[in-house]
């Protein structure tokens, strides 16, 4: 099989983890799911790898509607709803009203993903910060965790959180900072979620952050279909690939995979309060 053919092939479903784990951030719709049968197939594969629950995350209004519906199709699926920072310019009154309603739906466990993204220029920093502030308020009004997208915007993210007052629970999805930023976030009580980037050889800062963050403030995610972990980088990603990332994180931290799976699952349960929905 040639290199281009391999890139189209998904990684093999690995042997199940020695303890159940959670994919704290995925996009089942972007993985190709449309129907209840599609969702079931994705989470069946994840469960075979020991990933027994997933949080499917919205990035626009259509995705938010779909995520809340998909979470009702399978009891292993939960949802998070928000408008992605690259779509912040679309956050009008109608969108605010609908998101405020969607976040109250059964099996919605977070406001996300929201935040700041200065890598792309689809929305101005001003529009992004205004939308971020609105989502922070929504999380505080509803008692929901806030799931943050942070790309090239570390300091502004912290500044907005400080000026607005952070919700009780804040999750930095796909943590992209270094050890210093990780310590700042951990000291503030925030939760850091690590994706396949923590397995990349050229991501030394993220890897060091993953090594030192307290395990009680650590989550594992895929951000599927993006960021497939090493050695499958560039191939299609799915929730089952959280298995590979968790094993790599355990090796990085010198931890037993079963203990890390149990610890990050406990963090997910405290963060998202699955038992309340």
Phi/psi of residue 121, nearest 5 degrees: -115, 35
The pLDDT, as a whole number, for residue 48 is 98
User: Would you list which residues are annotated within the binding site?
Assistant: 25, 27, 113, 149, 173, 223
The pLDDT, as a whole number, for residue 277 is 74
Number of helical H runs and strand E runs in the chain: 10, 8
Domains of the chain from N-terminus onward:
19-272 (3.20.20.140)
Joined tokens for residue 15: 């042997």
Q: How many Cα atoms are found within 13 Å in the side-chain-facing hemisphere of 13?
A: 14
The pLDDT, as a whole number, for residue 12 is 97
The pLDDT, as a whole number, for residue 119 is 95
- 124-181 pLDDT per residue, tens: 999 999 999 999 999 999 999 999 999 999 999 999 999 999 999 999 999 999 999 9
Q: How far is the CA of 190 from the CAs of 22, 229, 242, 258, in angstroms?
A: 18, 24, 21, 24
Work out whether the CA dihedral 82, 87, 88, 94 comes out positive or negative.
Answer: negative
pLDDT band at 82, cuts 50/70/90? very high
- For the segment 94-98, the average pLDDT, to the nearest whole number, is 98
- 192-248 pLDDT per residue, tens: 999 999 999 999 999 999 999 999 999 999 999 999 999 999 999 999 999 999 999
- For the segment 60-73, the average pLDDT, to the nearest whole number, is 98
pLDDT band at 276, cuts 50/70/90? confident
Give yes or no for a cis peptide into 231 (omega within 30° of 0): yes
The rounded distance, in Å, linking the Cα atoms of 132 and 176 is 18
Under DSSP, is residue 118 helix (H, G, I), strand (E, B) or coil? coil
Under DSSP, is residue 80 helix (H, G, I), strand (E, B) or coil? strand
Under DSSP, is residue 112 helix (H, G, I), strand (E, B) or coil? strand
User: Would you list which residues are annotated within the binding site for a divalent metal cation?
Assistant: 25, 27, 113, 149, 173, 223
The pLDDT, as a whole number, for residue 1 is 47
The rounded distance, in Å, linking the Cα atoms of 59 and 80 is 9
- 3-60 pLDDT per residue, tens: 555 567 999 999 999 999 999 999 999 999 999 999 999 999 999 999 999 999 999 9
């Amino acid at each position: 099989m040639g290199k281009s053919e391999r890139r189209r092939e998904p990684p093999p479903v690995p042997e199940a983890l020695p303890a159940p784990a959670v994919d704290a951030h995925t996009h089942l719709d972007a993985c190709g799911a449309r129907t209840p049968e599609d969702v079931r197939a994705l989470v069946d594969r994840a469960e075979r790898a020991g990933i027994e629950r997933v949080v499917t995350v919205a990035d626009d209004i259509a995705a938010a509607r779909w995520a809340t519906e998909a979470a009702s199709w399978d009891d292993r699926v939960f949802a998070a709803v928000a408008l992605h920072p690259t779509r912040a310019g679309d956050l009008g009154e109608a969108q605010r009203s609908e998101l405020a309603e969607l976040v109250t739906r059964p099996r919605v466990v977070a406001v996300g993903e929201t935040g700041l993204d200065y890598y792309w220029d689809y929305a101005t920093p001003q529009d992004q910060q205004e939308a971020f502030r609105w989502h922070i308020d929504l999380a505080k009004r509803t008692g929901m965790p806030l799931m943050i997208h942070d790309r090239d915007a570390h300091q502004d993210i912290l500044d907005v959180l400080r000026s607005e007052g952070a919700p009780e629970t804040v999750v930095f999805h796909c943590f992209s900072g270094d050890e210093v930023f990780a310590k700042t976030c951990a000291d503030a009580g925030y939760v850091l979620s690590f994706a396949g980037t923590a397995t990349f050889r050229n991501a030394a800062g993220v890897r060091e952050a993953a090594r030192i963050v307290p395990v009680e403030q650590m989550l594992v995610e895929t951000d599927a279909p993006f960021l497939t972990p090493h050695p499958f980088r560039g191939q299609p990603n799915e929730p089952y690939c959280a298995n590979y990332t968790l094993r790599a994180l355990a090796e990085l931290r010198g931890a037993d995979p079963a203990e890390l799976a149990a610890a990050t699952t406990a963090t997910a349960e405290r963060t998202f309060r699955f038992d309340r929905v």
